[in-house]
Structure 1
Amino acid sequence: MFEKSSNELAINKLYILYILSKMEIPLSNSQIINIFMENDILDYFSLQQYLHELKDANLVSSIEEEGHSLFSISPKGITALKYFENRIPSGTKDSLDVYVFENRENILRDREVKAEFKKIKDGEFDVKLQILDGKIPYINIDLKVPTNKTAKTICDNWKEDASNIYSSIIESLINHS
């Protein structure tokens, strides 16, 4: 019985290493949770425990960015994954590969395109929009708008189509007569 549970523990940790390796970008805790919950692979509490243990073993590294931890596979984790990747069931590996293929661009865009708003006072909301290249901003836009609905709409539109909006702004500034 103990052997099965320790084998299961090792495979569950391999799942985390595998997804961090395949994504090729640091992931936030919530992004990791979403991946495993959407694929019905690990429960929340086990995932948190395994992630903590992988970090303690230096198989996963984390960096702080804007008050959030971002996790990535470490060189030691890459080596471990190479040795033991064949233990991951092919069906699980296939479903994770499909998930990465279908969702990597959206996850990357979420890290590059920022849109948030907060209420300043009655009738005034502060909206902050950004496009980042790593940590370097291409554009920062700060707006004051009158309603929560307007702020939310602006943020949703920015997240949906930031690159085209950015291009339109640049084109308008260049071609303005």
Structure 2
Amino acid sequence: MYESSSELAENKLLMLYVLKSIKEPISNTQLTEIILENNFINYFTFQQYLSELEESRFVEYNDVNDKKLIILTEKGDNVLSLFKDRLSPSKISIIDAYIKDKIEAIKKELTIHADYTLGSNDSFIVDLKAIEDQALLMELKLSVPSKNQATLICNKWKENPSDIYTNIINLLIN
């Protein structure tokens, strides 16, 4: 019993450590990916722990630009500070290396949004957003005649948002 309760505590602390290390609110999907890709916890156990951390008010969900993002609360940060020494150094180094390697992709996923919905007259409404420091930089909504075009626009926006943003700004200014 002692082993499993110490493992449970370490896994929850590890989740808090990830949130603190990223220093940004992240989605449930992103946090899940970080934990699962490193084979720390299985999916169902992870979701249970996340729910328990939320119930304990160590983490909370905030609505940021139409997304529910997880943040580490002050209470969670205090608990992590008190018990961080219970985390194995090898897991900490794995998390640190993973975050260092993937932080740009994680931030890009949080700051670039591209989606489409079915509009009227069988058209598709494409919604593109660029967000910086949790503030909306640009939002563009387009109506296109086909799903293929909507998908193409979303993919191009995700691949190269800064160039497209710069081109749009230049077109409007010049």
Aligned to 1:11: 10
Matched, 1:87 2:86: yes
SS of 1:116 mapped into structure 2: strand
Within a 5 Å distance, the mapping from 1:21-170 to structure 2 comes to: 21-65=20-64, 68-120=67-119, 123-170=122-169
Aligned to 1:171: 170
In 1, are the aligned partners of 2:113 and 2:129 still within 8 Å (CA)?
yes
TM-score using structure 1 length: 0.90
User: Structure 1 stretch 11-20 or stretch 105-114: which is displaced more?
Assistant: 105-114
> Which shifted more, 13-22 or 125-134?
125-134
Percent identity between the aligned chains?
Answer: 33
| Per-residue deviation, 1:8 | 0.6
Cα shift at 1:69? 2.8
What is the TM-score of this pair, normalised by structure 2?
A: 0.92
Q: Give, in angstroms, the shift of residue 173 of structure 1.
A: 2.1
Q: How far apart are 1:67 and its partner, in Å?
A: 5.6
Residue range with higher mean Cα deviation, 29-38 or 62-71: 62-71
The CA deviation at 1:120 is: 2.4
The root-mean-square deviation of aligned C-alpha atoms, in Å, is: 1.7
Secondary structure, in 3 states, of the residue corresponding to 1:115? strand
Question: Tell me, which stretches of 5 or more residues in structure 1 are unaligned?
Answer: none
Query: How far apart are the structure 1 equivalents of 2:116 and 2:68?
Result: 21
Shift in Å at residue 121 of structure 1? 5.4
- Deviation of 1:165 after TM superposition, in Å, equals 0.7
Offset from partner CA, 1:69-101 (integer Å, 9 cap, x none): 311111111111112112211221111111111
Helix, strand or coil for the counterpart of 1:144? strand
Distance 1:93 1:149 in 2: 43
Tell me if the contact between 2:65 and 2:134 (Cα under 8 Å) persists in the aligned partners.
Answer: no
Q: Check the 8 A contact 2:118/2:125 in 1, yes or no.
A: yes
Structure 2 gaps, min length 5: none
Distance 2:145 2:21 in 1: 43
